[in-house]
Each structure stands twice: as C-alpha cells, then as structure tokens.
Amino acid sequence: MSIRRLPEHLVNRIAAGEVVERPASALKEIIENALDAGSRRISVRISNGGLDRIEVSDDGCGMDSGEIALALERHATSKLPDDAIENVATLGFRGEALPSIASVARLSIDSRPAGQDGWNRTVDNGVVVHEGPAALPPGTRVTVEQLFGRVPARRKFLRSAKAEYAACLDVVRRLAMAHPSVAFSMEHDGRRVLGVQADEAREDRVAALTDRALAENHVIVALEREGVRLSGVASLPTYNRGVGDHQFLFVNGRPVRDRLLVGSVRGAYADMLARDRHPVVALFLDVPPLEVDVNVHPAKTEVRFRDPALIRGMIVSGLRRALDAEGFRAVQHADPAGLSAWKPEPVSPTPIGAMPIFEAAGAPSPAPSYSVADRRPSFFTPPPQARAEPAAAPAPEGNSFPLGVARGQVARTYIVAEAEDGLVIVDQHAAHERLTLERMRRAMEGQGVAAQALLLPEVVELDEPACDRLEARIGELSEFGLELERFGPAAMLVRATPAMLGQGDVQGLVSDLADDLAAYDSALSLKERLDLVAATMACHGSVRAGRILSVAEMNALLREMEITPRSGQCNHGRPTWVKLGHGDIEKLFGRK
C-alpha cells in the first residue's frame, strides 16, 4: 500500500479522538478558552449528560468574525504570542480543540467584542452551514450538539447519561476551584446543580464545591521554596473519606492528575490515617513555566516536573507543617446521630398539686424511679462503669487548659474532663497511642529508643515466611529497642523491648509487626517502614482500654496532649477526643 496524505476532515477526526474523548473533554476545552479570554462569569448548560447539548456562555473579550473563522482552523491560537512554547502561561494553547470538536459534532460560536456587533458561525461535522450576525451581550457563547452523532463507532462507547453528567460536573468543579475570582454556574436538563460567586476566598470556594463541613475542619497550607509556591486547603486527619475522590491538585491553575502528587499527599498523612481512608485536599502549585512541562498529554491533564523530588518534598513538608501547627485539634462537632440517641422521659400527667412533695408531712410516698431511654434496639447492658476520685488538692479551673481538667473516668476507657466551653471526652488508649508514637519519633531523631532487656528472653512462634521478614529487618527493629534473634526455622527470640512500652504483650507485638511487614513491606520506603514499625509499637505500648487511671494520671495525659503535635487523632485517623459544647448539652435538656 502506497503512502498517501490524509484528507483534512479525517485528520480532524483523528485529532478529535485524542482531544475529545467524551462530553466532559469538550466541556473542559471550551471552559478553558473562556478563562483564557479573561471571563469573570461563566455559565454552563448541558442536556442528557452533555450527549445532546453543551452550552458555555462567558463575558470574556469576545471575537470578531475574522477571529471566529480563524479559531476553527487547526493549530490557530491566540495563546502563543511567539514560538516559545515552553513559556506557555495559558490553559489552552494547542489550537486543536474547536476544529476537533467541530469535526465530530454541530458546533456553533456566537461572539461579540465590547463595542462591536456580534457574529455567529456554525459548523456541522466539519462543514460550515451558517454564518451571520448574532445578538448577544459582550462575550462568547459556544454550543455543541450531538457529539459523535455521525460517528457511531465512537458514540456507542460513551457511557450512560448519568456517568457523562458526573464527569462534566467534576470538570466544572475542578476549574471553578482553581479560579475563585470567577463566578461559575451550571445547569443540567434545566436544573441548577452548581453555583459559586466571584472573588471568594480560596478556602470558602473549596468548601462550597466539596463539603460545607470542610470550612470548619481544615488547615491552610502555605510554603515557598526555590521559586515554587505551594498553597491550598487540607482537611484535618479526623475529617476523611472512604475514597480518594476529593483530592484536587492544580499546577499553574491547571487541574491535573499526577501520581507523584497523589503519592505525596498519601505520604504526608501516612501515620495519621488508616490505609483505607483518604483526606480532603485542594493543593495549588505555582511553578515557573520552564520547570514544568504541561505539553505531555493532549488533554493537558498530566504534567512533568524538572525536579520531581523538590515538588514531592514541598507537598509533604507543607502538609506536615500545617497539620503540626494545629496541635491537638480534631473534628469537634457532636454527631447528630449520637445526639438523637438521647430521648427524654415523657412528662408525667400528674397535676402539680398532687405531686408527693405537696402531701402532708409524714405521709408515706413511693420512692421515685428514674430511667434513661434509648432509641436504639434494647439489649442487655451491664451496670454503668464509671468512677470519680476525690481530689487530694483543689481541682484546677477548666478555663486554664484547652482540654480542661479531668473529672472522672467512664467504662475504664474514656476520660471525662470539664473545659471552659463544654465537656471533653478523651479515648485514653487512642490518645496515649499517639503520644507514645511521637515520643518514639523524638527518640529516633536523638540517640535512639532505649531498650529494656528481658530477664528471661521470650520465644515467639511464627510461620517461617514471617520469621524471614522479621530477620531481614532485625537492624531496623533494634533502632526502636526491639532486639530479636532467629530461633530455629519457625520462631523468633525476643531479648529486649523498647523501654518506653513498659510491660507489654511481647507475643502480640512481634506477631503484629510480622503481619504489617507482610502486608506493606515491599510497597514502602525505609522511612515509611520505620513509621509503620513505630506506629505498631506505639499501639502496643499505650494505655489500654480497661485500665483505671488516677485523676493525676488523667490530667497528665491531657496536658501532654495539649503540647504534642497531631494528638487530635490516633495513628489510624480516628479522633482522640470530642467535645460536647454547652449548646449541645442545653439541647439535650431542652433548654435551647
């Protein structure tokens, strides 16, 4: 077969296959053009998930008739004033989007520059079908109808209208998040599904587009290094989700999906979240154009950094610093489901005058009975386990400390403290687990973790692969004060344990370490493995649920939590303390 030059319409269809994969791809390109045109307000309307119709209106600079015609030619763009493509500073710059879309759909462009007349040009699958004056306010309106309508081979591979709508909504959400100075609105089948105002604070825009609760459960990220600036919003570790669909990353205002960036976020939260939980983050990187290649992917959703180690380090450091600065802070809103479980007893219909208190003195009166009702299904509950210890000295005032002062212990698991603004309940095991981990880290940064030799070495029996994994990490484990030796094919001999763990369950500790190494060892770096070992040891060395604490021990735990970074959550991302504010308590008693 001889080589031939492909016709223009076929070239456009091939280009459309690279740039326009689905309605969301076309929508992204059109909105980026509107942003590059200096728009302050962008309105999006789609029908049937964008399969039938996409309409984007903006108030940007607009185009005259000659520019509209030129914009529909391949590789014609206003985004590159010269040939220095490495200095591109706009979102779109290839000049492929509009002609590619016009080759596989009916594309109509109405545009009007300020002070001039409007103009329309309509192209139906590569053929100009209409051109003439148009009436519209200054700006541009782009309409796409029947995408891939005449390309059944592509149309049949599109997903359902609901799936395509979800993809379109995600595109608008990401672009709106990246440009808080621009107002966005979106309608689907005539129903308004998104609306944000112009000139919002970045954290407010992110919360509006993800979850309103993020506004009260986030930290501000800000870091600058070697000409690269990192900013954004990140959730507290205790405010997390089961899937990673709420992690938004932007490079020079461009939404991107990059494994390096996603991995950096995971690394920053490594010891603060369980592996099946994910933080909510929106991070914005401003990188000099020469330090990043945005031309890697036709859809410009992937980028390549000149110095990826610098970027990863900045993200991890920026997130860590922001989270460390919050100290013991955690999500502190009372759970509505928990509050609704409290149900007041029905008011007795007995008239006030007939109450026993008004009966004659000396008259026998039945002993009053009290009970607590629970909306949950009834089940056998053991007697309440709570204790309060008389203080040897006058108890300090709760307003002197953020976490208050201890007033008692419930179920040998939870410390109840009184603070200036409410009631604080602390999970003693989760809190001490975090404190132990931070102590081990500080020791590792210094002279290492002190070891406590066992009077009689203890033999731990495991299967042979588990012993092999532990034997391979004997050097790393010894840095944490855990001294192991191989003791035959299926056993390990424990000669010393970390001194700060005290008298713990040696068998359980070694067994759990073997399980963790089996699950994560090959996928983790050395530092991540050390963090994993430290977290496992901290869990075994912390105060267990069921241990009775004195008031002095409770207060000591509270004071240490107040000065320890990240003490608001345990090593698995669960909160270590919650607060029931005065307002919540008043609601329970019907006072508010």
Q: How far is 105 from 407, CA to CA, in rounded Å? A: 71
Give percent helix, percent strand, percent coil of the chain, each to the nearest 5. Answer: 35, 25, 40
Q: Between these two residues, 270 and 464, which has the higher pLDDT value?
A: 464
Task: List the structure tokens of 2.
Answer: 């001889």
Predicted confidence (pLDDT) at residue 363 exceeds the cutoff of 70 = no
Under DSSP, the state recorded for 209 is H
Q: Between these two residues, 75 and 583, which has the higher pLDDT value?
A: 583
Per-residue pLDDT tens digits for 185-216: 999 999 999 999 999 998 889 989 988 888 88
Helix axes 428-445, 551-563, angle to 10 degrees: 50
Per-residue pLDDT tens digits for 93-114: 556 788 889 988 999 999 999 9
Q: Highest-confidence range of 126-130, 339-343, 551-555, by mean pLDDT? A: 126-130
- Cβ count within 10 A of residue 96: 21
Name residue 229's beta-bridge partners. 224, 286
Q: Highest-confidence range of 9-23, 223-237, 575-589, by mean pLDDT? A: 223-237
Give me the torsion for CA of 161, 166, 169, 174, rounded to 10°: -150
With tokens 């000099």, the residue in question is 288
Q: Tell me, rounded to whole angstroms, the distance of Cα 345 from its chain centroid.
A: 41
Alpha-carbon torsion (17, 21, 26, 32), positive or negative:
negative
- Output phi, psi for 236, to 5 deg: -60, 150
Task: List the structure tokens of 583.
Answer: 């307002």
Q: How far is 400 from 420, CA to CA, in rounded Å? A: 8
With tokens 């004997």, the residue in question is 474
- What's the pLDDT score for residue 509? 81
Q: Between these two residues, 141 and 80, which has the higher pLDDT value?
A: 141
Helix axes 23-36, 161-178, angle to 10 degrees: 20
- What's the pLDDT score for residue 198? 94
Name residue 581's beta-bridge partners. 422
Per mean pLDDT, which range of 29-43, 45-59, 245-259, 481-495 is the poorest? 245-259
Q: By three-state DSSP, how is residue 179 classified?
A: coil
Closest CA to 321 of 246, 224, 392: 224
Residue 380 — pLDDT band, cuts 50, 70, 90? very low
Closest CA to 590 of 423, 377, 345: 345
Task: List the structure tokens of 129.
Answer: 């079908």
Beta strands in 287-402 (DSSP E): 292-293, 304-305, 342-343, 373-374, 386-387
- What's the pLDDT score for residue 151? 84
Q: How far is 102 from 145, CA to CA, in rounded Å? A: 10
With tokens 């009970």, the residue in question is 371
Does residue 232 contact residue 284 with C-beta atoms inside 8 Å?
yes
Burial of 395 (0-12, 13-18, 19+ CB in 10 A): middle
Residue 436 — pLDDT band, cuts 50, 70, 90? confident
- What's the pLDDT score for residue 324? 78
H or E element at residue 540 = helix 526-541
Predicted confidence (pLDDT) at residue 352 exceeds the cutoff of 50 = no
Name residue 405's beta-bridge partners. 418
